[in-house]
Amino acid sequence: MRNYVEIESQQALQALLEQRNRVEHYAFQGVDFKCVETALECEFVDCIFMGCSMPEAMRRHLAPSCYLFPSMQKPFTLFPSELYSAATLYRGYDPEREESFKECYDTQVYTHYVASGKQARDIGETLARSLHDHSISDALHDLLSRYDERAVVAVMGGHALSREDGGYAEVARLAKRLTEQGKLMVSGGGPGAMEATHLGAWMAGRTDEELDKAIEILSAAPRFEDRGWLALAFEVMRRYPRDERYCSIGIPTWFYGHEPATPFASHIAKYFDNSVREDGLLAIAKGGVVYSPGSAGTMQEVFQDAAQNHYKTFGFASPMVFLGREHWTCAMPVYPLLESLQEEGKYRNLLLSIVDTAEEAASEILEFK
C-alpha cells in the first residue's frame, strides 16, 4: 500500500509544482496554492488537501478522487504542520508583563476549550479538535522517525513537585545525562517533575554548575501557581540558550490546561484529547520509563505501562525504573506490589528496578539494549 507523500511548506509545494503537471497521491497540509502560479495548470488525482487555500478554479477542477478538508473558524489551527514550541504556544506572551499570559495563544485556546465544554457536544467542535489532534500526532511521529525507537525515554512524576525540592534537581540531572547520551526525553510537558525533565534536556551540554544556577533562578517561583513561574523559565532560556543538538518533547493537554506547559521542551505536542495523549506518551517511550514520586496520575501511568510491557504490546518490554525507594515502597508501595504480582505470574515481562539517585536511574536506562 503506497503512503501519501506529505507537503507541508510553501517551499516544498513550489518545488513540486515546478517539476510536474500531474500530481497523484499527495497530502497537502496548510499550504497556499494561490501563491503558486502553476497550480492551475496541474492535474490533481487522489490527493488530500487539509486546511489549504486555493483558487476557486482549481477547487472546481479537482478529480473526484481528491479529498478536501477546509479549515474552520476556531482560535486554534486545525491542521498544524509541525509541533508547537515555546514561541508558538506562548505567542503573545511577554515575560516582562505577567498579565500578557491571558492574551497568549495557549490561554485563548484553553478559554475556548472550557467555554465549549471539555466534553463538547457540538459536532463541529469535536471534529475540529479531532482534526487538530490528528495533525499533532502526524507531526509527532514525523519527529520520532528521526530517532531509534529505543532512544525515547519518558519521565513520569508529580506536577506539584516544587523547584526547591531535591527531587526536582535529581530529575533534571537524570534528564541532562540521558540527553547527553543520545536519549530523547519525553514527559507530560507540564510543571513539577515534567518541567525538571525538560530543563535537564535544555541544559544538556552545559556544566552541572550551570544547571544548579538555573534551578536557583527558577526557585524564586517554586510552584506553577506562583507569580513569575513562567517568566523565570523564559529568563533561564534567555540566559542559557539551548544547544541545537539536543531536543526533548513535552506532551501536555488542554484537559489540564490550568497547568501551564513547560517552555523548556524544544517540541510541544499539545492535545485536546487526554486519552490519546496519555496512551501515546507511554507508547512512544520504548527506551524505558522513569517514575519519580507522584500521586494518582503517576499511579495510573505505572499500571498502564505495566500492561503494555506484560503483553509486549509494541513487540518488547522496556525498563520501568522507580526513582525514590522510600516513596515507592512505603508512601505508595507500588514497587513491592508489582514485584509480588510478577513472582506470582500475574504480570510477566516487567523489567523492574528501584533506585535513589539520578546516576543509578540513568545506568538502568543506558544498560537496556
Q: Which amino acid is at 274?
A: N
Q: What is the pLDDT of residues 46-62, one digit of tens each?
A: 999 999 999 999 999 99
pLDDT at 9: 94
Does the residue 362 lie in any domain?
yes
Residue 116 lies in a domain: no
CA dist., res. 228 & res. 262, Å (int):
13
Contacts of 45 (CB under 8 A, 6+ apart): 22, 23, 24, 25, 63, 65, 66
pLDDT tens digits along 107-155: 999 999 999 999 999 999 999 999 999 999 999 999 999 999 999 999 9
pLDDT, average across residues 336-341: 98
Residue 71: band (very low, low, confident or very high) from pLDDT cuts 50, 70, 90: confident
Count of structural domains within the chain: 2
Contact yes or no for 13/5 (Cβ under 8 A): no
* Per-residue pLDDT tens digits for 167-211: 999 999 999 999 999 999 999 999 999 999 999 999 999 999 999
User: Given this model, what pLDDT does residue 369 score?
Assistant: 80
Whether residue 292 contacts residue 324, with contact meaning beta carbons closer than 8 Å, is answered with: yes
Helix (H, G, I), strand (E, B) or coil at 210: helix
Span 78-101, average pLDDT: 97
191 touches 249 (CB < 8 A): no
110 falls within a domain: no
Distance CA 354, CA 349 (A): 16
Closest CA to 320 of 359, 281, 355, 277: 355
Residue 88 in domain: no
Domain boundary among 48, 69, 90: 69
Containing domain of residue 238, as a range? Answer: 147-366
Residue 248 located in a structural domain: yes
Phi-psi region of 242 (alpha: psi -120 to 50; beta: other; left: phi over 0): beta
> At which of 19, 53, 69 does a domain end?
69
215 and 317 housed in the same domain: yes
Q: How far apart are the first and last CA of the chain?
A: 32
Starting at the edge strand found earlier in the chain, the sheet holding 248-250 runs 267-268, 248-250, 184-187, 152-156, 289-291, 319-323, 351-355
pLDDT of 308 higher than 90:
yes
* Domain end among 43, 69, 95: 69
Q: Which long-range contacts (CB under 8 A, 24 or more apart) does 25-29 make?
A: 28/52, 29/79, 29/81, 29/135
- Are residues 65 and 151 both part of a single domain? no
Output phi, psi for 62, to 5 deg.
Answer: -65, 140
What 3-state class would DSSP assign to 29?
strand
Task: Report in angstroms the alpha-carbon separations of 182 from 25, 148, 170, 247.
Answer: 36, 10, 19, 10
Confidence of residue 340 (pLDDT cuts 50, 70, 90): very high
Residue 1 has pLDDT above 80, yes or no: no
**Domain with 266 in it: what CATH number?**
3.40.50.450
Q: How far apart are CA 248 and CA 143, in angstroms?
A: 11
- Cα separation of 124 and 132, whole Å? 12
| E strand map for 62-116 | 67-69
Q: Is residue 10 part of a domain?
A: yes
CA distances from 231 to 168, 187, 252, 299, 305 (A): 18, 21, 19, 31, 34
* pLDDT tens figures, 3-50: 999 999 999 999 999 998 999 999 999 999 999 989 999 999 999 999
Task: Flag whether 91 is in a domain.
Answer: no
DSSP state of 33: G
- Asked if residue 237 and residue 330 are part of one domain, the reply reads yes
Say what the pLDDT of residue 132 is. 97
The pLDDT tens digits for 248-305 are 999 999 999 999 999 999 999 999 999 999 889 999 999 999 999 999 999 999 999 9
Q: Phi and psi of 157, rounded to 5°?
A: 170, 175
Domain annotation covers residue 83: no
